[in-house]
Amino acid sequence: MSKPVILTGLRANNDLHIGNYFGALLPMVDMANRRAGEYQINLFVPDLHSFTTPIDHAALYAQTMHNIKIFAAAGLDLNNPHLYMYRQSYVSAHSELTWILDCFTGFGEMSRMTQFKDKSGKLDENRISVGLFNYPVLMAADILLYNATYVPVGEDQTQHLEFTRDIAERMNSRFGQLFTVPKPVAEQHKFFGKDQGLRIKDLADPAKKMSKSDETGKGVIFLGDDPAIAAKKVMSATTDSVGAIRYDRENQPGICNLLQILALLSGRTVQDVAGEWDGKTRYGDLKKAVAEQVQSFLTAFQKRLSDIDEAALHAKLEASESTMRTQADKTLLSVQQAVGLRPAA
């Protein structure tokens, strides 16, 4: 490969909400569009990761394709030749390399993974899959197959990235230079910029972040919500009894959340928006302004989503997957030769 590789994953399933959109999706699209050319951008869909915990398998493929369309609707440049979008399960080297790396990974290493302990603690013992246990090994294969240098990770994934570096160095030390070792977490943050973005909170309970796990859905604005219903959710948002609008995270989290949403949807800074509303006493007016922005945003976004050229999207996927198979198979073959599965070159 002539260019260094930036690799990141797109969600394969789950409903996306506006917190996902502004906190993760738009920054990813912006990064890909800006850096493609200087770097090879690998945007892969980790569909194999999607059922490490129980899901509706009948809906997985449709959800995967829907979320790929969402990234296109968010402005991802599908015509950029330096940007590749592909589905993990369509490149078999991901699964093959995972098994090889599994055999050089310690049980204790995986047992110490914080995400495994957190997620398995919420499941009945009989529903904890081996896939959930060795998920970090599959993630390592996703990265190492393409010799990716930069992989943007959140705090919940830093441990997995460090494992990827460890297993790459372990294999390189034993068998020679097989893999590019991705940059450590500190350098990743320096390269991408440590995320300091606004965190949209739940409308009904502004003490917690907006999350798809909210069973009622009353505090969450999903990208697929009917715009009018989403506006009603805003009008029912929890505020306080202070009686004056202030950007005070500690004492007025609900008001702050509405100001943040308004800032994001209107493309302004939160300081600008907060200054405009500072000291006003009519909470209903603020809610109405936010509700109108939410309704307008969802209406426009859903129109872009419905206008996506699905044939062009499939063509992009198929072309990218063909190129990625070639790149991944080259890496896999060198590993297979090193461990004795294929004759040495």
Query: Which tokens hold the place of 17?
Result: 């909400």
- Assess whether 232 carries a catalytic annotation: no
Name the active-site residue from 119, 218, 232, 330. 119
- Assess whether 233 carries a catalytic annotation: no
Please report the beta strands in 99-224, taking only residues with DSSP state E, as ranges in sequence order.
148-150
Q: 3-class SS at 8?
A: strand
- Assess whether 330 carries a catalytic annotation: no
Name the active-site residue from 117, 190, 201, 209. 209
CA gap 66, 85 in Å, rounded: 14
Q: How far is CA 283 from CA 158, 162, 189, 200, 242, in A?
A: 40, 46, 38, 18, 10
Give the CA count within 13 Å in the CB-facing half-sphere of 143.
Answer: 28
CA gap 118, 123 in Å, rounded: 10
Name the active-site residue from 3, 69, 212, 232. 212
Side chain identity, residue 345: A
Q: What is the DSSP letter of 91?
A: S
Q: 3-class SS at 64?
A: helix
Catalytic residues: 119, 209, 212
